[in-house]
Amino acid sequence: MCGIIGIVGRAPVNQALYDGLTVLQHRGQDAAGIVTFDQGKLYLRKGNGLVRDVFHSRHMQELVGHVGIGHVRYPTAGSSSSAEAQPFYVNSPFGITLGHNGNLINTEALKRELFREDRRHINTESDSEVLLNVFAQELLHQEPTDLAPEHVFNAVNAVHRRCKGAYAVVAMINGHGIVAFRDPFGIRPVVYGMRETPEGIEYMVASESVALVALGFKLIRDLAPGEAVYIDFEGNLHTRQCAEHPVYAPCIFEHVYFARPDSILDDVFVHRARMRMGVYLGQKLQREWPDHDIDVVIPIPETSRTSALELAMQLGVKYREGFIKNRYIARTFIMPGQTQRKKSVRQKLNPIEMEFNGKNVLLVDDSIVRGTTSREIVMMAREAGARKVYFASASPPVRYPNIYGIDMPAAHELIAHGRTVDEIAQAICADRLFYQDLDDLIRAVRKGNPKLEQFDTAVFDGHYVTGVDPAYLAALEISRADGQRAPRASRQAHLDLHNTA
């Protein structure tokens, strides 16, 4: 998962881009980058690490200009080399920089096409560089002498025809403007907004609405699936639907975990969607276990708090914070090998024994992925004195790999893959286990926007909205196998501790 941002302003945008990226930091902690435009030149700074580590005062002073884009990366392809940090740049036509959130599933075919037909060289393993070159080549095919919005939109239309997968993109065309667009299924989010200043109207695009609000921009709306917005450097805004057959199918896992709770995605308040997840999960538990003996509901920090509180209220059971999270330990997420993962859990979470001692505890998490972390947390609860430990997941069992930008493990590493709920409960050492029903998860999100008729729920049901070649899944299984992760430090980024469970 990554975060993108772009601003066409009336004053220097370096600080605003920096601030916006810090708000989107939850979407990517592996690398960050900003590029600005001023008087015919591009000024770029990018590198590995958090936003605060990549940009120092001397870098900010060099990022001059009233227009720019930014990116925070969590890699789904490529390495942790700073060469993979975004935005990427290509000099023809005009000079284009681009940041991308998502994942293409026909990257290798596109690479061959770009080299054989377009004579374009791809220098990294990043699908984002591929996407940039496809867009650049299609813009070149327009043969524009004076770039107009129709040239940009025609190029985006061609990108939709050639690229398969998930992509929310922001790109800056040197001397002309910023374009943002969304894949024809709208899998990854992108919004845009505006603010009035004494110097005139400024526009901003970003992955989530919270970035706009934090900078004083008013949210206009989400980009529709397949739609593009183009803002020229004079501040004129243009939009167009560029896909021939768009389908609204956003990733539902954004609402489960990735998006900030104070964001609005596709007209759905994320916080309220998570509240409804807790309500529906509580109702399910009441139906299946009306005579439960739960004494206390405890969330696993932090994303599950909203759902856990509503679940507790639904059951009429006490809600307590039972774990303290160490925020200052070095990043050790998605670690290779079970021993290191177990050690990571113990370093990052510490139980408050008085909340567990002698009680029957229901632990609530947003999801269970690998299961290693869940098992360790259950054992921590038992060691803290819990009589019985039950477990509830605000989302359904994760049984299939994600191919649209979430770097989940290979299918055989997913604890729910090929197991029943009772078998999963036994594997994580829980006395009982409850999962959200998929229909209830969809209902929880759709209630915020009834126009959302379809979602990408592939990690739960194996249905990939774009379609997928089985050979791609087989190759993905090999590349994501646990044994392949150790030499690829890029895999050790972003997913918060509880979501590597």
DSSP for 165-210, written as a single string: EEEEEEEEETTTEEEEEE-TT--S--EEEEEEETTEEEEEEESSHH
> Does the CA dihedral 133-137-138-142 come out positive or negative?
positive
- Segment (H or E) for 104: strand 96-104
Identify residue 77 by its one-letter amino acid code: A
pLDDT band at 76; cut points 50, 70, 90: low
- 270-324+347-449 belongs to which CATH class? alpha beta
Give the tens place of pLDDT for each residue, 406-449: 888 889 999 999 999 999 999 999 999 999 999 999 999 999 99
| Domains in the chain: boundaries | 3-247, 270-324+347-449
pLDDT of residue 339: 52
Beta bridge mates, 359: none
Task: Let me know how long the chain is.
Answer: 501
Segment 251-257 mean pLDDT: 97
* Residue 500 predicted with pLDDT over 50: no
**Is there a contact between 373 and 415 (Cβ–Cβ < 8 Å)?**
no
* Average pLDDT score over the chain: 92
Quote the DSSP letter at residue 334. S
**Is there a contact between 268 and 179 (Cβ–Cβ < 8 Å)?**
no
| Reduced 3-state DSSP string for 34-58 | EEEEECCEEEEEEEECCHHHHCCHH
Domain 3-247 belongs to what topology? Glutamine Phosphoribosylpyrophosphate, subunit 1, domain 1 (3.60.20)
The helix/strand count (H/E) of the chain reads as: 17, 22
Q: What would the two tokens of residue 322 be?
A: 């039972």
Give the orientation angle of helix 305-315 with respect to helix 270-288, to 10 degrees. Answer: 40
User: Is position 2 annotated as part of the catalytic site?
Assistant: yes
User: For residue 199, with 0-12 CB atoms within 10 Å meaning exposed, 13-18 middle and 19 or more buried, which class applies?
Assistant: exposed
**Is there a contact between 426 and 208 (Cβ–Cβ < 8 Å)?**
no
**Higher local confidence (pLDDT), 489 or 315:** 315
The Cα–Cα gap between 74 and 154 comes to: 30
Order of all β-strands in the sheet with 388-393: 318-319, 296-299, 360-365, 388-393, 432-435
Q: Is 53 annotated as a binding residue?
A: no
- Segment (H or E) for 230: strand 227-232
User: What does 354-391 look like in DSSP terms, one character per residue?
Assistant: GGTTT-EEEEEES--SSSHHHHHHHHHHHHTT-SEEEE
- Residue 316 makes CB contacts below 8 A (sequence gap 6+) with none
Q: Is 266 annotated as a binding residue?
A: no
Q: Is 267 annotated as a binding residue?
A: no
Q: Dihedrals φ, ψ of 470, to 5°?
A: -55, -30
pLDDT band at 80; cut points 50, 70, 90: low
3-state secondary structure of 465: coil
Residue matched to tokens 């856990």: 308
Give the orientation angle of helix 127-141 with respect to helix 149-162, to 10 degrees. Answer: 130
Q: Which pTM was predicted? A: 0.91
Give the tens place of pLDDT for each residue, 329-352: 654 434 444 455 556 788 889 999
pLDDT of residue 261: 96
pLDDT of residue 461: 97
